[in-house]
Amino acid sequence: MAKKVLKFGGTSVGSIDRILHASKIISQEHKKGNKIIAVVSAMAGKTNELIEFSKTISQNFNKRELDVLLSSGEQVTSALLAGALCKVGIKAKSWLNWQIPILTEGEYNNSRIVNMHVEKIDKFLNLNGVAVIPGYQGISSEGDITTIGRGGSDATAVAIAKIFNADTCEIYTDVDGVYSTDPNKIPVAKKIDKITYEEMLELSSLGAKVMQSSAVQTAMMYSIPLQVRSTFTNRPGTKIFNNENIDYRKVVTGVAYSKDDAKITLQGVDDKPGIAAEIFEPFSKNNINVDMVIQNVSSDGKTTDLTFTIKREDLQRTLEIIKSNNKIKSKEISYKNNVSKISIVGAGMVTTPGVTYKMFKALADEKINILAISTSEIKISVIIEEMNTIKAIKKLHTIFDLD
């Protein structure tokens, strides 16, 4: 007997049939004697429809009222799912954000869960009840409804798993689990059975579609075992754990990529403390997200070359900011707007020598030029020309035994 949080995403509750199907999954888990808290998203498409409504009224719709509006989507699903469970004789009850309550901090549209009351629901679970909770929302200390950002139902599920001390948190979604690379692009992509939190985060360009990154981070912080699985099959999905739970036979777990990147290089920047901060400060003020940053000491030892990547759509703005920044004295600014980032990810990498060489050799064999390199303990990323993206992923997927 375990205490389980089962989270159902938008497509998993996207129609009445699917809500009935989700109620069957819950019912089976409940019959096994498990204590179940179900967390639900809005029905697929609902949140977008409500956002569309708000935008028709104003592109700058009042943020407080937007949260009142959007939170209704998960409320509807919660009531329907609880009703579906009642129909098959399960004692089920929806608990809305203010009924629990789920307390949040921060701004409207982008708050975070800080606490929730457990006594009433724990008592209900002990009496064999199933609690159904709308994801993505809470209430502020002022008693206003607040939402926690798109994909926030994952964060709600993980926060509930943590605060209710659940044994596991299962994310039911429309994919089988996490794949070794994008299965739509690379047909030999394979479902990963077990993965660490860190790998999952590094694979975020794939994983983002599967699960919200900040929810994975929270699960990592509190060692909450996650399982991502399909609502529509009985297959076990992908388990997300700490390192110690994973027996590595493969050094590399997956190959991730991000498209639509641009690369900027500043050559001959003064090599003095604080220069990077001076360069990047105006970017963050302008909401420009910098991804990879690589800095090399230049040959003269007095200046440095700085390369970084950004989203391609931000390229023009970024170049203008650099040009108007008096603190940057650079001999040359160069950029490339058709690049992509390819990463190999694997927690076993740190203990296996030669992975870096193997990767670079493989790309060289394919005559793919590497424009920049960045490594971490469980990831090696390279910037290449965008046209080589698929070729690079395929090659790396094969040589690291992922096919």
Residues 139-178, one symbol each (x = binds a second copy by CB under 8 A, - = not), give: ----x-x---------------------------------
The DSSP result for 126-180, as a single string, is HTT-EEEEESSEEE-TTS-EEE--TTHHHHHHHHHHHHTT-SEEEEEESSSS-BS
- Smallest Cα–Cα separation from 33: which of 148, 167, 140? 167
Judged by beta carbon, residue 119 or residue 300, the one nearer a second copy is 119
Task: Tell me: does residue 76 bind a second copy (CB under 8 A).
Answer: yes
- Smallest Cα–Cα separation from 14: which of 52, 53, 40? 40
Residues 88-107, one symbol each (x = binds a second copy by CB under 8 A, - = not), give: ----xxx-x-xx--------
Helices (H), 193-274: 197-202, 204-210, 213-221
How far lies 253's CA from each of 98, 291, 298, 319, 403, in Å? 41, 22, 35, 36, 11
Task: Tell me: does residue 27 bind a second copy (CB under 8 A).
Answer: no
Q: Which of 48, 58, 141, 334 binds a second copy (CB under 8 A)?
A: 58
Task: Tell me: does residue 51 bind a second copy (CB under 8 A).
Answer: no
Task: Tell me: does residue 56 bind a second copy (CB under 8 A).
Answer: yes
Pairing state of beta strands 303-311 and 254-270?
Answer: antiparallel
Task: Tell me: does residue 20 bind a second copy (CB under 8 A).
Answer: yes
Task: Tell me: does residue 123 bind a second copy (CB under 8 A).
Answer: no
Give the interface segment with a second copy, choosing from 68-76, 150-158, 242-250, 340-348 (CB under 8 A).
Answer: 68-76
Residues 329, 334: Cα–Cα separation, whole Å: 14
Is the CB of residue 402 less than 8 Å from the CB of residue 282?
Answer: no
Is the CB of residue 375 less than 8 Å from the CB of residue 292?
Answer: no
Size of the site for a second copy (CB under 8 A): 37
Q: What is the identity of the amino acid at 14?
A: G
Q: Which of 6, 25, 36, 66 binds a second copy (CB under 8 A)?
A: 66
Peptide bond into 183 cis (omega under 30): no
Judged by beta carbon, residue 72 or residue 295, the one nearer a second copy is 72
- Tell me the closest approach of the beta carbon of residue 173 to a second copy, in angstroms: 22
Q: In this structure, what are the phi and psi dihedrals at residue 392, rounded to the nearest 5 degrees?
A: -65, -45
Task: Tell me: does residue 57 bind a second copy (CB under 8 A).
Answer: yes
Give the interface segment with a second copy, choosing from 24-32, 79-87, 349-357, 366-374 (CB under 8 A).
Answer: 79-87
| Binding site residues, a second copy, CB under 8 A | 16, 19-20, 50, 53-54, 56-58, 60-62, 64-66, 68-69, 71-72, 75-76, 78-80, 82-84, 86-87, 92-94, 96, 98-99, 143, 145
